[in-house]
Structure 1
Amino acid sequence: MRRWWPFALLLLALLGLQLKFWWGDGGLREARALETRVEEQRRENARLQQRNDALSAEVEDLKSGEAAVEDRARSELGMVKPGEVFYRVVEPAAPATDAGDGQGQDR
């Protein structure tokens, strides 16, 4: 009759360990959530690294070449060289349309 006591104790210990493993602090659920956050952070870091690389290349262009500075001055500041004529092409505005098709509205 006393032979089942050690087995019951081991079974309870195993059950307690399984509960902690699956649902406890630092358990499998929390580990998976952390893995997800790490993967999201890696993607964000890769995106920011690409942005930094592009900015570094732009800075290097601006430091090394006069053409890059001139291009930026023309596009962002609207500057022109002496003797040049600046033309701005403006697309015709689309005709104003009514907000609705007139159905179901009382005027």
Structure 2
Amino acid sequence: MKILWAIMVVLILLLQVRLWVGEGSFAQVWSLQEAIDEQRAENQKLALRNERLYAEVRNLRSEQGAVEERARMNLGLIRQDETFFLVVDP
């Protein structure tokens, strides 16, 4: 009878070790949950960035003024009858 109890205790200890340390243990589940939370936060930031880019693309496709503004600001383009003045701070 004592041998049966000893075997049972050893089996319970082995199951506990697997629960806390082995594959699929609580520690591994916690670390995977943290990785999932970090990935979700990163995905949320990227989704926000993508939405801004989509809005900018829609704006450029729909309005001619947006394209002209981009050309003026980024490329320094001017219309044919306009005069360009460059103000330089001393």
Task: Report Cα offsets for 1:52-83 as digits up to 9, x if no partner.
Answer: 10110001001100111111111111111222
Cα gap change, 1:20 to 1:88, in 2 (>3 Å) = farther
Q: Structure 2 unaligned segments of length 5 or more: list them.
A: none
Report the equivalent of 1:37: 35
Q: Counting helix residues as a fraction of each chain, which structure ranks higher?
A: 2
Percent pairwise identity = 39
- 1:51 corresponds to 2:49: yes
User: TM-score scaled to structure 1, two decimals?
Assistant: 0.75
Deviation at 1:87, TM superposition (A): 3.0
Cα gap change, 1:22 to 1:81, in 2 (>3 Å) = same
Count of matched residue positions in the alignment of Structure 1 and Structure 2: 90
Is the radius of gyration larger for structure 1 or structure 2? 1
CA RMSD of aligned residues (A): 1.5
Q: Structure 1 unaligned segments of length 5 or more: list them.
A: 93-107
User: TM-score scaled to structure 2, two decimals?
Assistant: 0.88
The one of 58, 62, 65 aligned to 1:64: 62
Query: What CA distance in whole angstroms lies between the structure 2 residues aligned with 1:89 and 1:23?
Result: 69
Report the equivalent of 1:85: 83
